[in-house]
Structure 1
Amino acid sequence: MERVQLMAPQHDVGQRADAYAAAPLLNCLIREVARPHAAPGARRVYRLPGSGRLLRVRDGRRPAEPEVHTAGGWRRVGHAELVKLVAEELRRRTGRSNHELPAEMIDSRDAVAALLTARARATAPDDPYLRSEQSLVTGHPHHPAPKARGGGPVAAWLPYAPEVHARFPLVLLGVREDAVVEEGDTSALDALGQAPPGYRLLPAHPWQLDLAARELAAAFADRRLLRLGTTAFDVWPTAAVRTVHAPERDLFLKFSLDVRITNDVRRLWRHDLARLRRTDTAVTRAFAAADGPAAWLSDRGHRTASFAFEELAVVVRDGLRGHVLPGATPLLAAALAEGFDGNPLDGPADPAVWWKAYLRQVVPPVLGVFARHGVVLEAHLQNSLVAVDGAGVPVQALFRDAEGVKLVPEVSRAAGWERLVYCLVVNHLAEVAAALAERHPGLDPWPAARRELARHHLPEIAALLASPTLPGKTNLLLRWTGADGADARYLPLPNPLAGA
């Protein structure tokens, strides 16, 4: 297991952690609650309608340096005071109290401090793909607590954190054969080690084993479950935390994790596993029938134990080698917006050409599988990979995670289209476009995005390009009101496509 030393100047780390944690919280507050109060400029002013207070921030895709107006003028507020300000505003707006979310916001900030401290002494992987997966120190740019880790002690989760370039072996368990539950192709699991007669092999994430120790004690005691050691190789946690990559085996494994990360407790729920094969089969067929180089990383099977169905579940996902074009390098789309060593956004010879190539790889497969097969990909930044050639130009898009996919008519076409637009345009394209424009101030990315979308003859496209608004997910209000993590609710955001 990689050992990470916790050494860094604490004062500097505290200030940086405040800034990292404040930016997504401010994005949520500005998008969902605040109202513009003054003309745009380097410092934007907003009114908080519940309290009537004025908030000023340094403008940008990552707003910073929040200040509130008092009788004595503008006064800076740190992250802890910003959390109190947001909580007061939401109580006034909704008429509801919530003690859990403010604690998550503080936990997220403290987690960032721990990550920054450990990351300063960690060694990044040589593989640019792994570096991209492990780069998300900010995380979801429109979530109030994107780095919360369940409130547990740092020592419990830090060894498994992708942000500190962790790698570790998996625990190998033996499950008595009469208790094994599986569906699909799980043969890759049997190659990870050797199970004794009468048992089947089941890998486990060590953090999840710690979390579920009490529930599993009886199964270990009566030998329905055996500890068989660990894998002979390390795995690398990806941006999703609970999904790991085993490069030597060209394999991804997705585990249950009883920890809330962003909106959901990241457990492999029984109802999601029940539909996984049907959904993945539909997506796999849709991509097989499509033209172009885009690829789907199939969630090809899952295995668990009947007595700990959700606690021990693991999903087997395709690796990269059979899907990525020869000579191309896959990168996590979210990392392009976050930034990392080797980010192709840092140096394209012509940013307009680069952006056109990016759109040409990402947009057609998402619209194509929807139009022809009713498949609604959850094509947000963390579920999308973009492979680039030797010059850093996008040549292929890859998508993953059947759990987030919706199928028409399981959902209505209108609901599916709204979700597609949010994930693809608002969450994905808008973030990459903003990161690119930030590096190249003369570039307007939206005319090219409009042209790419207009090439596709879906009945919804004309309305999308003419609409003054796009659907924006309300993560702050969803978490404050205790809505189910999968229960997306949207508010209208200005549509940059309409005026492009």
Structure 2
Amino acid sequence: MYRSPTAEAEVAEELAAERAGLVPRYAAALPGARAAVLSRLWRALAHEPLPWVAGRERTRDGLVLRLADGRRLHGPAADPYATAAYVTAVDLDGVPYEDPARLTEALPAPHRAAFAAELGHSAASLALSRAAQPAHPEEWPEEDWQWEQRVVDGHPFHPNCRSRPGFSVAEQLAYAPEHRPLVGLGLLPVPAGECLVTGAWPDELRDGRRLLLPVHPWQAEHVLKRPCDDGALTAHPLMSLRTLAVPGGPHVKTALTARLTSSVRDISVPSIAASADLSAFAEALAARTDGLLRITRTLGAATAHSPDLAAVWREAPKRYAGPGEHVLPVAALPATGLSERPAWLGDFTRLALTAGLRLLELGVALEAHGQNLLVVLSASGAPLRLVYRDLADIRVSPARLARHGVRAAGLPGRILTDDPVALRRKLFGSLVAGALAGTAGSGAALRAALETAVRELPRTADLAALCEEPLPAKALTLMRLSPATPGDQWAALPNPLVLEPGRSDQ
């Protein structure tokens, strides 16, 4: 078997210096981490519109890809909605590969060297994340940030699920949520006249005529390269790593100019400028869902007119949970075991689709993936309502809003579109191919849940598209292999309501 030692060996060496007791557990976790990343990569190779894949053929024992250079790549049948690490090796012209990084290096793909390095780092970081988990975690944590720490494996479908280039082992242990640290944020004083502020900036983060901007310690060291009174504000990191929960208070989103998974996590100046209007708009629209969906409000936002130095204060989702209720990101649902119950999964799917489609009919398509979308559970685990956070990447249709007597005044132009394809891609790609598929864990489970849910939904053009057309999903690997192409690129996945789960007619 081929294996890339570089990233794995580097992490092992750093780990031995930082936390030697974890080295054996890290080594034991590596094969499973490689399989997890390879399974995500195989999904992309099987279903994304990669120009160097000339054809795909289903066989009795799996799937064969014909590459543009004449070689053949053979692996198991590819369920586009499976989250289990079911691919341990694939065969390229008679040579088996178990390492996703080495496989990528051998493919006829542009920009493969950079992507291969990211995959090697993803597998090594995933092994580190798994190695650091407690043997017996608390079954039902009380704090919302504790649920965020349960998402150990990262994005359920992206091969870069744990890629954190630029982060040392020590920094991952100190800042990543799955390692359960308490992070000391710096407070950088900036003259108020040099800042753009929207909403209400906290009084305790003002010093005379200066604003105290929260700065992530990684950002202070690697980007700003200046001390920021480190540790002045302590908080628990959430799934996005750059957003943290202040104990007893709101969540703070910091600029983190690093590429995590696919995106660089800075905060643009236009997003700060639009944050208050966008928050008020979304809150008003969510009120039309009859309590099915709530939006975490943006309380205040500020930037020193730089995407590298900005912060956003946002309501904590637990504000929308009552006594005895739990609120947790959808990505954490598999850790509860609830999603293994077909009846529960059907109820949750119906709730999510009802809220998402109702808002889409009004004119708002949410980026409702497992990180942005949270669910409020009763004490017995029943799904009660949804909470949505982070409005930066939603899409809004002025024409649909107008039909319901709503104006899109003050919203940034980049989020406005009346194209039904763009609107449906945004919602269905994040909610159905993302959050619901990741919760279901397989095409068969997703199909059963969707069949249960759609029977009770109002028949609209959007629902017809969901039931009858291929399911859109971001072509995450294609996007990493075509860095010069701006914006999102898309794959058309087999619709689980139309085709057998796992079947592809490409």
TM-score, normalised relative to structure 1:
0.82
Cα displacement string for residues 346-398 of structure 1 (whole angstroms, at most 9, x for unaligned residues): 5xxxx3331232123212221122212x1111111111111111221111111
Is 2:40 the counterpart of 1:24?
Answer: yes
Tell me, what secondary structure is at the counterpart of 1:230?
Answer: coil
Identify which of 74, 89, 92 aligns with 1:55. Answer: 74
Once the two structures are superposed, the pairs formed by residues 276-355 of structure 1 within 5 Å of their partners are: 276-306=275-305, 309-336=306-333, 339-340=334-335, 342-345=336-339, 351-355=341-345
Q: What is the one-letter code of the residue matched to 1:345?
A: S
Q: Which residue of 1 aligns with 2:466?
A: 464
Is 2:236 the counterpart of 1:236?
Answer: yes
Cα displacement string for residues 180-210 of structure 1 (whole angstroms, at most 9, x for unaligned residues): 32111223xx33x6x5433222222111111
C-alpha contact (below 8 Å) 2:255/2:309 kept by paired residues: yes
Distance of 1:177 and 1:492 partners within structure 2: 48
Aligned-pair CA distance for 1:105: 1.5
Identify which of 360, 368, 376 aligns with 2:358. Answer: 368
Once the two structures are superposed, the pairs formed by residues 394-405 of structure 1 within 5 Å of their partners are: 394-405=383-394
Q: 1:37 to 1:321 in 2, by over 3 A?
A: closer
C-alpha contact (below 8 Å) 2:47/2:492 kept by paired residues: no
Is 2:210 the counterpart of 1:199?
Answer: yes
Distance of 1:69 and 1:213 partners within structure 2: 45
C-alpha contact (below 8 Å) 2:338/2:345 kept by paired residues: no
Q: Which residue of 1 aligns with 2:441?
A: 434
What number of residue pairs does the alignment pair up? 453
Distance of 1:489 and 1:445 partners within structure 2: 27
Q: Which residue of 2 aligns with 1:224?
A: none
Q: 1:152 to 1:238 in 2, by over 3 A?
A: closer
Q: What is the one-letter code of the residue matched to 1:344?
A: L
Once the two structures are superposed, the pairs formed by residues 474-485 of structure 1 within 5 Å of their partners are: 474-483=475-484
Distance of 1:352 and 1:38 partners within structure 2: 29
Identify which of 183, 192, 196 aligns with 2:198. Answer: 183
C-alpha contact (below 8 Å) 1:67/1:77 kept by paired residues: yes
Aligned-pair CA distance for 1:332: 1.3
Identify which of 71, 77, 90 aligns with 1:67. Answer: 90
Is 2:353 the counterpart of 1:386?
Answer: no
Distance of 1:420 and 1:196 partners within structure 2: 42
Aligned-pair CA distance for 1:159: 0.6
Is 2:430 the counterpart of 1:423?
Answer: yes
Aligned-pair CA distance for 1:69: 5.3
Cα displacement string for residues 390-419 of structure 1 (whole angstroms, at most 9, x for unaligned residues): 221111111111111111131124121232
Aligned-pair CA distance for 1:242: 0.8
C-alpha contact (below 8 Å) 2:217/2:230 kept by paired residues: no
Tell me, what secondary structure is at the counterpart of 1:174?
Answer: strand
Q: What is the one-letter code of the residue matched to 1:22?
A: L
Identify which of 173, 189, 193 aligns with 1:158. Answer: 173
Q: Which stretches in structure 2 are left out of the alignment for 5+ residues?
A: 1-17, 399-415, 501-506
Q: 1:208 to 1:356 in 2, by over 3 A?
A: same
Q: Which residue of 1 aligns with 2:450?
A: 446
Tell me, what secondary structure is at the counterpart of 1:428?
Answer: helix
Q: Percent identity?
A: 25
C-alpha contact (below 8 Å) 1:255/1:314 kept by paired residues: yes
Distance of 2:172 and 2:485 partners within structure 1: 24
Distance of 1:134 and 1:435 partners within structure 2: 23
Distance of 1:59 and 1:470 partners within structure 2: 15
TM-score, normalised relative to structure 2:
0.81
Q: CA RMSD in A?
A: 2.9
Aligned-pair CA distance for 1:108: 1.5
Q: 1:206 to 1:291 in 2, by over 3 A?
A: same
Distance of 1:484 and 1:317 partners within structure 2: 32
Tell me, what secondary structure is at the counterpart of 1:456?
Answer: coil
Cα displacement string for residues 187-234 of structure 1 (whole angstroms, at most 9, x for unaligned residues): 3xx33x6x54332222221111112233xx5xx7xxxxxx455346x3
C-alpha contact (below 8 Å) 1:287/1:369 kept by paired residues: yes
Distance of 1:360 and 1:210 partners within structure 2: 46
Question: Structure 1 segments of 4 or more deviating over 6 A?
Answer: 121-125
Q: 1:84 to 1:69 in 2, by over 3 A?
A: closer
Aligned-pair CA distance for 1:285: 1.0
Distance of 2:436 and 2:117 partners within structure 1: 31
Tell me, what secondary structure is at the counterpart of 2:128?
Answer: helix
Aligned-pair CA distance for 1:298: 1.8
Identify which of 96, 99, 104 aligns with 2:118. Answer: 104
Cα displacement string for residues 296-342 of structure 1 (whole angstroms, at most 9, x for unaligned residues): 11223311224xx2212001111134322442101211122xx43x4
Q: Which residue of 2 aligns with 1:117?
A: 131
Q: Which stretches in structure 1 are left out of the alignment for 5+ residues?
A: 91-95, 221-226
Distance of 2:19 and 2:117 partners within structure 1: 26
Cα displacement string for residues 118-157 of structure 1 (whole angstroms, at most 9, x for unaligned residues): 3358977943633431233322233231211124422234
Identify which of 89, 96, 108 aligns with 1:89. Answer: 108
Q: 1:280 to 1:363 in 2, by over 3 A?
A: same
